[in-house]
Structure 1
Amino acid sequence: MANLRAGLIGLGMMGRHHARVLRELDGVELVAMADSFGDSHGVANGLTVHDKVEDMIAQGIDCAVVAVPTVLHEEVAMQLAEAGIHCLVEKPIANDSESGRRIAAAFERMGLIGAVGHIERFNPSLQSLRARLEAGDLGDVYQISTRRQGPFPARIADVGVVKDLATHDIDLTAWLAQSNYVDVVAHTTSRSGREHEDMVTAIGHLGDGIVTNHIVNWLSPMKERTAIVLGERGAFIADTISADLTFVENGTLQTEWESMAAFRGVSEGSSTRFALAKREPLKMEHEAFRDAILGKSMNVVTMAEGLETLRVAEAVLESARTGGVVAL
């Protein structure tokens, strides 16, 4: 079978990584590029960098990756849908949910694979955690907590921390639990002088009663990416920077320390850090997109799922604006 002919729109900080992975991917050939600002990171390697998406489409491609600023997602994705080209668009799916609905509807109408780049689903620690939750290793799940903080990335100019970073946590939380959000309440602030928020704290409930909380900011001098799933038998701790997964089980030993024995909650048991095969999440994401196009599997983050994540992000911003609980 001939290789899928792939195009890449957007050659910025994320686009350069997509270019590298596309060139490494079996069954895919990167043949076309477009970026109105040119090839700032020198990734073209002899390919013509088109100013316009339609000129890139004219080269004849089967699929494309969209890594342009969020405000341009709809314009570019709709051009690809009209041309019958499968699309992996970076997260969030669009700048707002109305735009996201139009994109998702267009790809469904054309019978095309439309995927959203919520890359955390392909992190080895979270993939292992999801499998262990499905196997019932934790029993009932009570709470999912995430922390995602670090210095401000200069590449982000068109959205705040909620749509850029918190969408990772919203998506991975609903995916791990296999349950959607039913309400959220949140507070945001902007301390860096930018137009958009750079810090958010959000609390929510999922449809199955799981409590969630998310701490996300661009103001921290240290980088942290952690998800903790607390349940009946203990807690899983996933560090998505190192791709490590640890399980701390509930203790079973009786304590002879009188003041501690009076506390009738759980006690700390054994801790296990699992040995995991650690493959690059971006490559796994591209493999899933390729296999969906070829009809081998459907493990991509669908545009419908990407749209639901964006709806929750908008509810977070609405709650921060009004000070109330927002139902979804």
Structure 2
Amino acid sequence: MLRVGVVGVGMMGQHHVRVYSELAREGKVELVGIADANFERAKELAKKYGTVPYGDYRELAKENLDAVDVAVPTSLHKDVALEFISHGTSVLVEKPIADTIENARAIIQAAEEAGVTLMVGHIERFNPAVLRLKDLISEGELGKLVTISAKRVGPMATRIRDVGIIVDLGVHDIDVISYLFGEPIKTVYARAGNVVHPAGVEDHALITLGFEDGTGIVETNWLTPHKTRTLTVVGTGGIAYLNYIEQSLKLYNSDWIKEAKIQKREPLRNELEHFIECVKAGKKPIVDGRAGLHALRVALLAQKSARTGKVMEVRE
């Protein structure tokens, strides 16, 4: 049985622990332990989910794990990931893959050299509505894609942030839009600012993504009093409206309106099951290190564009 652990049990990490505990009850994994610098928090969750708490992730790394889930603040991704990779452990690291391009490359290189699985937790790729939309696009239901626009707005959460909204939230739709177009992003232009956060940490942004023959738009902020997570896809053959939260998808053309049948399921569970499957079978994840690096690169260039007012070319 696959031996897994979780590092970081804050707002997002606690849900990872919950899902792994469910998978453990089903006999799919063994949840060996969880680690957090807040040891009291680790003990609390360990007691709740029947596992072992650690105050230092380095101690958990010594437990001969097959896989680890890294859900610590972005600035710590590199150090934690490299520690586990050095022990031959496969790693799922929450999005974004790292805080800098250099750190992301270091994680990717270490995983490749160690021969372990590296996956980046871009959870919206595992949203059933997104998966269904991708199938419909591939089947030609919308014709040739022209524009994809996303709105990801809502109130500021209480969790501590070490990055601005473009890297924290905008990166979700940067990745999804690239995935739906089926190609890397060529250019990026952004306008951003800060109302609540200190200078240099943007809390609202409008991002334009240029493709070979199409455009993506991402609107995101921490200022809207209610949460909205939507995506609109315009093609030569119709238009699709997706709601991430409701996991709903409607398609319109000049003759009909269709609502896609979607079997609703928790995206996080889909994601973690995929990670486990990849580790067991030695398969390449849907969102590997290179995909995570591309999304991070575009997000960082969007920040630079917002500072300089220039369109940035995305060079790999």
Write out aligned runs for 1:220-235 (5 A). 220-235=224-239
Partner residue in 2 for 1:106: 110
CA contact (8 A) 1:6 1:62 kept: yes
Write out aligned runs for 1:1-328 (5 A). 3-25=1-23, 26=26, 27-40=28-41, 42-45=44-47, 46-195=50-199, 196-206=201-211, 208-249=212-253, 251=254, 269-295=255-281, 297-328=283-314
Following the alignment from structure 1 to structure 2, what is the Cα–Cα distance between the partners of residues 300 and 140?
A: 23
Unpaired runs of 5+ residues, structure 1, are 252-268
Following the alignment from structure 1 to structure 2, what is the Cα–Cα distance between the partners of residues 117 and 39?
A: 26
| CA positional deviation for 1:299 | 4.1
CA contact (8 A) 1:289 1:300 kept: no
Q: Which moved more, 1:150-159 or 1:308-317?
A: 150-159
1:6 maps to amino acid: V
Q: Which moved more, 1:152-161 or 1:111-120?
A: 152-161
* 1:229-265 Cα deviation digits (max 9, x unpaired): 100111111100100001011x2xxxxxxxxxxxxxx
| CA positional deviation for 1:203 | 0.8
CA contact (8 A) 1:185 1:326 kept: yes
Secondary structure of the structure 1 residue equivalent to 2:269: helix
| CA positional deviation for 1:297 | 4.7
Root mean square deviation of aligned Cα = 1.3
Secondary structure of the structure 1 residue equivalent to 2:108: helix
Following the alignment from structure 2 to structure 1, what is the Cα–Cα distance between the partners of residues 298 and 206?
A: 14
TM value normalised by structure 1 = 0.91
Instruction: Please tell me whether Structure 1 or Structure 2 has the larger radius of gyration of its CA atoms.
Output: 1
CA contact (8 A) 1:66 1:89 kept: yes
TM value normalised by structure 2 = 0.94
| CA positional deviation for 1:154 | 1.4
Following the alignment from structure 2 to structure 1, what is the Cα–Cα distance between the partners of residues 40 and 128?
A: 31
Secondary structure of the structure 1 residue equivalent to 2:85: helix
Q: Which moved more, 1:45-54 or 1:135-144?
A: 45-54
Unpaired runs of 5+ residues, structure 2, are none
* 1:65-114 Cα deviation digits (max 9, x unpaired): 00100000000000011110000000000011111011111101111100
1:44 maps to amino acid: A
CA contact (8 A) 1:227 1:238 kept: yes
CA contact (8 A) 2:141 2:238 kept: no
If each structure's helix is expressed as a fraction of its own residues, which one has the higher value?
Answer: 2
Secondary structure of the structure 1 residue equivalent to 2:13: helix
| CA positional deviation for 1:298 | 3.5
Q: Which moved more, 1:34-43 or 1:52-61?
A: 34-43
CA contact (8 A) 1:291 1:298 kept: no
Aligned length: 307
